[in-house]
């Protein structure tokens, strides 16, 4: 049984054709991929203004560009066009980071600890080396 979100939208319908436009889905997928409009436009070989027009639903890409978009953004053509198929999940509550972000933060903290330990070890080795040079 589908549960409706508090705002009245079913999570599966967030990017559906009735809720979002092609441009909405394109902008969301680009953002999820961590690309700026300029960066994605360069990868596609189009002007940034052309991509902006697609995201603003003022124009639509040709089939070859649609195929490239799906590959670059990791979503299906069907999802880009209709919201059905392999695409993005509905946005999560802004108060809670997504699991991917939480995992990245944990990894970042671990690397920071390792770097600090390595830095301290480097300083100790430099002291020992300097002491050997003075004897």
The least confident of 10-19, 29-38, 104-113, 120-129 is: 10-19
- The residue-averaged pLDDT of 117-127 equals 90
Q: Is it the case that residue 98 has pLDDT exceeding 70?
A: no
pTM metric for this prediction: 0.56
13 vs 39: which has the higher pLDDT: 39
pLDDT at 36: 92
Q: Which residue in 84, 76, 88 sits closest to 29, CA to CA?
A: 88
pLDDT tens profile 99-120: 567 677 777 788 888 888 888 8
Q: Given pLDDT bands bounded at 50, 70 and 90, which one contains residue 92?
A: low
Residue 64 CB partners (closer than 8 Å, separation 6+) = none
Residue 113 burial by Cβ neighbours in a 10 Å radius (0-12, 13-18, 19+): exposed
Residue 95, pLDDT score: 54
Beta carbons within 10 angstroms of residue 5's beta carbon = 12
1 has a pLDDT exceeding 90: no
| Structural domain spans, the chain | 11-82, 94-135
The CA distance from 113 to 124, in Å, is 17
pLDDT exceeds 50 at position 10? no
Structure tokens at 49: 């203004």
What is the CATH T-level fold of the domain 11-82, as seen in this structure? 434 Repressor (Amino-terminal Domain) (1.10.260)
Residue 9 has pLDDT above 80, yes or no: no
Which pair of structure tokens corresponds to residue 31? 């953002």
């Amino acid at each position: 049984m589908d549960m409706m979100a508090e705002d009245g939208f079913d999570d599966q319908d967030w990017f559906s054709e009735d809720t979002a436009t092609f441009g909405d889905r394109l902008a969301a997928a680009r953002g999820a991929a961590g690309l700026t409009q300029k960066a994605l436009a360069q990868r596609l070989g189009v002007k940034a203004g052309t991509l902006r027009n697609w995201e603003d639903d003022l124009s639509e890409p040709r089939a070859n560009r649609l195929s490239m978009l799906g590959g670059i953004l990791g979503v299906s053509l069907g999802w880009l066009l209709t919201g059905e198929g392999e695409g993005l999940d509905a946005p999560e509550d802004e108060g809670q980071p997504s699991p991917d972000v939480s995992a990245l933060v944990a990894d970042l903290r671990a690397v920071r600890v390792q770097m600090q330990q390595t830095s301290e070890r480097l300083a100790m080795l430099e002291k020992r080396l300097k002491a050997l040079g003075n004897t």
